[in-house]
Chain A
Amino acid sequence: MNEKNMLLSRIKKYDFTLKELNLYLDTHPNCRRALSMFRKYRELRRDAVQEYNKRFGPLTPEQVTDTQSWTWVEDPWPWERR
């Protein structure tokens, strides 16, 4: 797996953990252990996405920083066999 895919893979793991905590917290809004784990993963995720944006491009249109070209529309798209 190349570095781009490895980093994207890490982001997916963080996002999944965050989503699981998100759903758990929706029904357990005062659970401090879940809130603390959420905070930890939010920071890991933020750093990983920043690195991804810098080296490989945007995951959302707002993350486009390239001043020469609108990289958002570049291939491949997620449903294609990358």
Chain B
Amino acid sequence: MNLDLFDDMEGIILHEREASLVSEMKNNNGNGSMTRFPKNTPLAMAYVPFQQWGETYGDDEALSRGTLFPELDLPFLKGGADK
């Protein structure tokens, strides 16, 4: 089996917090919190979704946030205001 690496992530739906992200994927039967992998995904292995090219921050904000990619910008919200 060949898990397509780049543009075709059809069928690979991992648990997401935002239902809107899930609804963008094909083959979604409405179960936003369901974890679905392609049929016959091999067991006993870990899978991280491949990032697709999308929005990027400007260079000012990128350095300040610590990443060029808003989808990877995942701040810690405990321990005082996010500064």
**Per the CB under 8 Å rule, do A and B touch in the complex?**
yes
Question: Which A residues fall within an 8 A CB radius of B?
Answer: 12-14, 16-17, 20-21, 24, 27-28, 30-31, 33-34, 37, 41
What are 13 A-B interface contacts by the 8 Å CB criterion?
A12-B63, A13-B59, A16-B63, A16-B68, A21-B68, A28-B6, A28-B50, A28-B51, A30-B6, A31-B53, A33-B53, A37-B56, A41-B59
B 47-81 contacts with A by CB, 8 A: 50-51, 53, 56, 59-60, 62-63, 67-69
A13 to B65, CA, bound (A): 11
**Which chain A residues border B56 with CB–CB below 8 Å?**
37
A45 to B14, CA, bound (A): 38
A62 to B51, CA, bound (A): 37
Contact of B62 among A17, A33, A34 (CB under 8 A): A17
Closest to B60 in A: A13
How far does the Cβ of B60 sit from chain A's closest Cβ, in whole Å? Answer: 6
How far does the Cβ of A63 sit from chain B's closest Cβ, in whole Å? Answer: 22
